[in-house]
Amino acid sequence: MNTPLIAAAMLAATMAVPTFTTPAHANGFRVGTLRCAIGGGASFIIGSSKNLICTFQSFDGSLPIETYQGRIDKLGIDVGMTDQGALIWCVIAPTWDAYLPGRLAGYYVGATAEASTGIGGGANLLVGGLWNTFALQPLSLQAQSGINAAVTASKLQLVSMQ
């Protein structure tokens, strides 16, 4: 594993986090988790596009489990080839009542940093959804295998499967 490369990618993600958080999200409510399986594929020097399937589950179990499909597009330095990966985001809403089924559908923008040599990881922070009211913050590092290095701006599109 290329430790300096992974450390550099994590540092870049950490530095990007304050850029995309807003006071509304900083004081928001953690309503649940969004677990995504990310398709593998090739990354090109200036970006990549990968499909994903996600499941939302509320922290307290009071909301129904929801399934979303989507795509994450990255623009920036993104080079390599990865197998399927997984990522878990914490879903933050401005109020608990702001979340209703299907509301995560929409577009999100943010920053991504990742690195892999064999097994690696990454971090993604995104803001968007219905009326740009939701923030997706990583609960843990993205897990993936392959050879890849990326520091990019990212756009995520989610479509409700309900």
Averages of pLDDT over runs of 10 residues in the chain (162 residues) are 42 41 56 89 74 93 92 81 77 81 90 70 75 75 61 90 88
Give the model's pLDDT for residue 43. Answer: 66
Give the model's pLDDT for residue 12. Answer: 45
pTM score of the predicted model = 0.72
Contact, 104 vs 161, CB < 8 A? no
| Geometric angle at alpha carbon 90, from 150 and 38, rounded to 5° | 45
> What is the rounded distance in angstroms from the CA atom of residue 86 to the CA atom of residue 133?
24
Give the model's pLDDT for residue 157. Answer: 94
Question: What's the sign of the alpha-carbon dihedral 71, 72, 78, 84?
Answer: negative
**DSSP3 helix / strand / coil % (the chain, rounded to 5):** 15, 60, 20
Q: Dihedral through CA 36, CA 39, CA 42, CA 44, nearest 10?
A: -40
Contact, 35 vs 70, CB < 8 A? no
Give the model's pLDDT for residue 126. Answer: 84
Helix (H, G, I), strand (E, B) or coil at 95: coil
137: β partners:
90
